[in-house]
Amino acid sequence: MDERTALRALAADLPGAGDDAAVVGAQVVTTDMLHESTDFPSGTTRNTAGWRSVGASLSDVAAMGAAATAAVAAYGAPSLDEDELRAFVRGARDVCESVGAEYVGGDLDTHDEFTVATTALGDASDPVLRSGASPGEVVCVTGALGRSAAGLRAFEAGDAERGNELFRFPPRVESGVALAPYATAMMDSSDGLARSLHQLAEASDCGFAFEWDRLPVHDAVSEYAADGGDCREMAAYFGEDFELVFTVSETDLSSVRAAVPAPVTVVGEVTADGVVAGDGPVPDEGYTHASEG
């Protein structure tokens, strides 16, 4: 059973599940577990691991349109080496500081495999869910897609410095907060753009039509992509990116562009059903966490 199937099976026990973060009063809270074999390629520094793992939770807070307030991390590793730990904590602290949140520590655990579990909190009186998109609106993304796919290729090519740089992504917290008054539905692109659109479509009971050539593709993708198909794979399917995917009314677009610090690209529009790109249907494929399960 993969993660989505498991989550559906649990829906009756967890009525609040299904968004990037859970809503508790005027707060949002989200947790993520990452580990070496699937999330930290060889060459990933502990500093990058701290930044990236805490950043993934901050991105979930951002995807709710919430202001991140604090984060914690539980760090499990075969040995608790002081330099590695310090590097991890500094990465975690730095990514929190970059979005105005406080890193308040966590837990240490001796664990056969390097494993990190992070939790982030945010304030939002009116969080943006995945369920509010309506046909006629436009669908947009912040920043550029494919950064993490390119980072993985860099690690695989032995360029750890470049890989680490690409893996330390900017969580879009400030943009998420700025989008909150306008976005009708929002999530982050951690499962890949294709899968994100399918999830927004399911939650909002709508569809999407986008154009491949409108996708903002990260500069690093062209360095590593073998051809146009591979570029598409890296930008739209691979996932593990942390950009915001959101829908807004076209009339709000100029306000959105003025308010949001990250680049905003309109990639398509909300339709009645189906997820299609210029040349046909877009499969619901991408990075499904725990898909090997």
**Can you say which residues are annotated as belonging to the binding site for ATP?**
106-107, 130, 190
The 3-state DSSP class for residue 66 equals coil
Query: Which of 115, 148, 175, 271 forms a contact with a second copy (CB under 8 A)?
Result: 115
Q: In what order do the strands lie in the sheet with 185-188?
A: 185-188, 244-248, 138-142, 264-271, 207-210, 275-277, 280-281
User: What's the closest the beta carbon of residue 97 comes to a second copy, in angstroms?
Assistant: 12
The secondary structure of 67-124 as a DSSP string is: EEEEEEEEEEESS--HHHHHHHHHHHHHHHHHTT-EEEEEEEEE-SS-EEEEEEEEE-
Nearer to a second copy, 8 or 214 (CB): 8
Number of residues that bind a second copy (CB under 8 A): 65
Angle (deg, nearest 10), helices 147-156 and 160-167: 160
Query: Which of 47, 48, 59, 119 forms a contact with a second copy (CB under 8 A)?
Result: 119
Q: What is the phi/psi pair of residue 52, to 5°?
A: -70, -40
Which residue ranges make up the annotated binding site for substrate? Answer: 39, 240, 287
Q: Please, what is the end-to-end C-alpha distance for the chain in angstroms?
A: 6
Nearer to a second copy, 106 or 268 (CB): 106
Contact between 203 and a second copy by CB under 8 A: the answer reads no
Q: Residues 14-53: x/- map of binding to a second copy (CB under 8 A)?
A: x-xx----xxxx-x-xxxxxxx-xx---------------
Strand partners, 141: 245, 265
Which residue ranges make up the annotated binding site? Answer: 20, 30-32, 39, 60, 106-107, 130, 188, 190-191, 240, 287
Residues 31 and 73: their CA atoms lie apart, in Å, by 9
Residues that bind a second copy (CB under 8 A): 1-3, 5-7, 9-10, 13-14, 16-17, 22-25, 27, 29-35, 37-38, 69-70, 72-82, 85-86, 89-90, 93, 102-113, 115, 117, 119, 121, 289-293
